[in-house]
Structure 1
Amino acid sequence: MNRLFFLLVLIGVPLSVIGNLLHFPQTIMFGVYCLTIIALAGFMGRATESLAIVSGPRIGGLLNATFGNAVELIISIFALKAGLTGVVLASLTGSVLGNLLLVGGLSFLVGGLKYKRQEFNVYDARHNSSLLIFAVVVAFVIPEVFSMNLNEEKTLTLSVGTSIILIVLYLAALFFKLVTHRGVYQHQSDEVEEHEEPEWGKGKALAILAVATLAVAYVSEALVHTFEAVGDKFGWSELFIGIIIVAIVGNAAEHASAILMAYKNKVNIAVEIAVGSTLQVAMFVAPVLVLISFFFETQMPLVFTLPELIAMITAVFLTIAVSNDGDTNWFEGGTLLAAYFIMGIGFYLL
């Protein structure tokens, strides 16, 4: 797999530059850009995994989630610049659904097929559950409900206020978990971590992260300009492109990392990536994009469509029901995946 990603980067990056400059057919370049971003995300995943080995499961999961979301953040910023606020909101929905149901489901399924039971930190699971309910059920639903009785200007003001509160609470949650209460809520599964050597040293890992992020930024801008042509060609709506395509491509690095961690029975890191990434999207990436949109011609309110909201709320409560006992198996993973595919079919038909 690593050799395949290396070949894809070696071919994909120059081809992306040439295709963008010479205006190759956009439907073909869409596939080239997607594969190139996924391959670059693979390198970012390996680099963050090397950094995570020396940092422990919590910081390791946070690193994977952060750099995994960096790809989507970059794509979304260029989409905002192009005025595609519908695609951005849909990609945020897709990230929540993808991380909780697709990544979480595949991690539990793959890990559960190898191990009968996998245990993780139940205290972290319960802490994350309350944050998930706040971030998605409270902070996303309130602007939607109130916007029905507000004009556009007041809806944007509510979105900005909500975004600032979300960012502050997210930073407070990190401070709580990594500083004031670090090590307070230990679980026996935290202690069963075997020593592992990182693939790359700290300097090399950071250098690869920096170069890969710059390359992703360039390819992402080119990718955004293909959305309209691809949508017309295949009959895909902005909603479907954002929720399924952009979300999967943008989160490819953490998808691979979480599944690999579960397969190695490091399910604490897998859960931290899947749930931690969702929290980061809902409480940091989405609010930041709302604030960034004010630098562009079209502003983005924190207001989702009704199908998007219902899908995210359903994903949150299903994930909480599955993970709150700190114990999982392959069947629970299959249940999460089934929910993802049902929602995917629904969004495709929309």
Structure 2
Amino acid sequence: MEKIFMLLTFIGVPLSVIGTLMHWPTMVLFIVYCVSIIALASYMGRATESLAIVAGPRIGGLLNATFGNAVELIISVFALKAGLVGVVLASLTGSVLGNLLLVAGLSFFIGGIKFKRQAFNVHDARHNSGLLMFAVIVAFVIPEVFAMEMNESKTLTLSIGISVILILLYLAALFFKLVTHRGVYQSEKSGVHHEEEPEWSKRKAIGVLLAATLAVAYISENLVHTFEYVAESFGWSELFIGVIIVAIVGNAAEHASAIVMAYKNKMDIAVEIAVGSTLQIAMFVLPVLVLISLFFTETMPLVFTMPELIAMVTSVLLMVVISNDGESNWFEGLTLLAAYVIMGIGFFLL
């Protein structure tokens, strides 16, 4: 399997560059880009696994989520510059839904088929649940409610204030988990991974992760330009593309990594990627984009459409209820996947 992914990478990435420069047919480029991103995702997964063995599941999962979300941040900045505020908000909504329902759901489901009962750090799960509730339910719902009684200028001022608070709290959460309370809430089996031999050294793993991320960023940016043509060909709406398609492709690398970790029964890393990535999107990427939008013609207040907001709140509540016991199985995964499909149908029909 590794040789197949290596072959797809060394063929797909050059073809992506050549096809872009030579203006190949849009549908051909769409397929080449998607295959290349999936192939690069395997390298990001292997690099994450090596880092997790050397540095622990928290740092491994955090680095994977960070590099994965860097792609999303780059694409979103270009979209904001083009004035596509609605598409940016829709794609970030899709990232939250995709990570909490699709990635976690597939991880729980595929891992649960192989292992009847899988455990992960219950303390981390409860800590993350509190942050998820705060980020999505408090920080996203409040601007929506207050914006009803405010003009655009005041709504933007409120969004800026909330964005700054979210970024500061996210940095404080990292400091809490990685510095002041590192190792305080260890799970019983957390020492198991350190007995393994990493495939790559820390330096090589970070180098591969960085190179793969840059390649994914380049291909993803070009892939976004094919969506309009593909949407017209299949009759998809702009909202559906933003919430479902852009989000899945933009996060393909971390999606693959989390599922592979779950299949290997490394649930601490899988959950850290899925939930950690969601927290990073909600508490760092989105607030940063709100602040960056101030430098462009069209600003982006922290106000979502009602379907986007309700979908995010529902997914957070479902994930909190399912993950708070620190255990997972295939049926819980199937429940998360079912919720994702229901929301996907809803956004498709809007």
TM-score, normalization by structure 1:
0.94
Q: In the alignment, is residue 180 of structure 1 matched against residue 180 of structure 2?
A: yes
What residue in structure 2 maps to residue 198 of structure 1?
198
CA distance in 1, matches of 2:200, 2:75: 27
CA distance in 2, matches of 1:45, 1:76: 23
What residue in structure 2 maps to residue 169 of structure 1?
169
What residue in structure 2 maps to residue 77 of structure 1?
77
Q: Match for 1:185: what amino acid?
A: Y
Contact 2:41 2:256 (C-alpha < 8 Å) held by counterparts: no
Contact 1:95 1:251 (C-alpha < 8 Å) held by counterparts: yes
Q: Match for 1:180: what amino acid?
A: T
Identity %: 76
Question: Structure 1 residues 296 and 17 mapped into 2: Cα distance closer, same or farther (>3 Å)?
Answer: farther
What residue in structure 2 maps to residue 41 of structure 1?
41
CA distance in 1, matches of 2:89, 2:241: 11
Cα deviation for residue 240 of structure 1 reads 1.0
CA distance in 2, matches of 1:305, 1:270: 30
What residue in structure 2 maps to residue 18 of structure 1?
18
What residue in structure 2 maps to residue 91 of structure 1?
91
Cα deviation for residue 98 of structure 1 reads 0.9
What residue in structure 2 maps to residue 217 of structure 1?
217
Question: Structure 1 residues 281 and 3 mapped into 2: Cα distance closer, same or farther (>3 Å)?
Answer: same
2:185 counterpart SS class: coil
Q: Match for 1:78: what amino acid?
A: F
Cα deviation for residue 18 of structure 1 reads 2.5
Q: In the alignment, is residue 296 of structure 1 matched against residue 296 of structure 2?
A: yes
Contact 1:99 1:274 (C-alpha < 8 Å) held by counterparts: yes
Q: How does 1:31-180 map to 2 (within 5 A)?
A: 31-180=31-180
Task: For structure 1, list consecutive stretches of 5 or more residues without a partner in the other structure.
Answer: none
Contact 2:96 2:282 (C-alpha < 8 Å) held by counterparts: yes
CA distance in 2, matches of 1:210, 1:60: 13
* Stretch of structure 1 that moved more, 39-48 or 308-317: 39-48
Deviation >3 Å, runs of 4+: 191-194
> Any idea what the Cα deviations from partners look like across 1:14-66, whole Å, max 9, x if unmatched?
22222222323333322322322232233223223222210111111111211
Contact 2:52 2:60 (C-alpha < 8 Å) held by counterparts: yes
* Stretch of structure 1 that moved more, 246-255 or 335-344: 246-255
Contact 1:53 1:197 (C-alpha < 8 Å) held by counterparts: yes
Q: Match for 1:300: what amino acid?
A: M
Question: Structure 1 residues 43 and 25 mapped into 2: Cα distance closer, same or farther (>3 Å)?
Answer: same
What residue in structure 1 maps to residue 320 of structure 2?
320
CA distance in 2, matches of 1:155, 1:19: 43
Question: Structure 1 residues 209 and 249 mapped into 2: Cα distance closer, same or farther (>3 Å)?
Answer: same
What residue in structure 2 maps to residue 207 of structure 1?
207
Question: Structure 1 residues 201 and 183 mapped into 2: Cα distance closer, same or farther (>3 Å)?
Answer: closer
Contact 2:53 2:193 (C-alpha < 8 Å) held by counterparts: no
Contact 1:79 1:224 (C-alpha < 8 Å) held by counterparts: no
TM-score, normalization by structure 2:
0.94
Aligned residues: 350
> Any idea what the Cα deviations from partners look like across 1:96-125, whole Å, max 9, x if unmatched?
111111111111112211222112211111
Q: In the alignment, is residue 29 of structure 1 matched against residue 29 of structure 2?
A: yes
CA distance in 2, matches of 1:42, 1:301: 36
Question: Structure 1 residues 51 and 194 mapped into 2: Cα distance closer, same or farther (>3 Å)?
Answer: closer
CA distance in 1, matches of 2:84, 2:7: 32
What residue in structure 1 maps to residue 282 of structure 2?
282
1:236 counterpart SS class: coil
CA distance in 2, matches of 1:8, 1:83: 35
CA distance in 1, matches of 2:240, 2:170: 28
1:54 counterpart SS class: helix
Question: Structure 1 residues 152 and 28 mapped into 2: Cα distance closer, same or farther (>3 Å)?
Answer: farther
Contact 1:41 1:71 (C-alpha < 8 Å) held by counterparts: no
Could you say what the CA RMSD is over the residues aligned between the two structures, in angstroms? 1.8
Contact 1:62 1:276 (C-alpha < 8 Å) held by counterparts: yes
CA distance in 2, matches of 1:337, 1:306: 22
Contact 1:57 1:268 (C-alpha < 8 Å) held by counterparts: yes
CA distance in 1, matches of 2:69, 2:173: 18
What residue in structure 2 maps to residue 334 of structure 1?
334
Contact 2:258 2:270 (C-alpha < 8 Å) held by counterparts: yes
Question: Structure 1 residues 339 and 17 mapped into 2: Cα distance closer, same or farther (>3 Å)?
Answer: same
CA distance in 1, matches of 2:143, 2:194: 45
Cα deviation for residue 194 of structure 1 reads 5.8
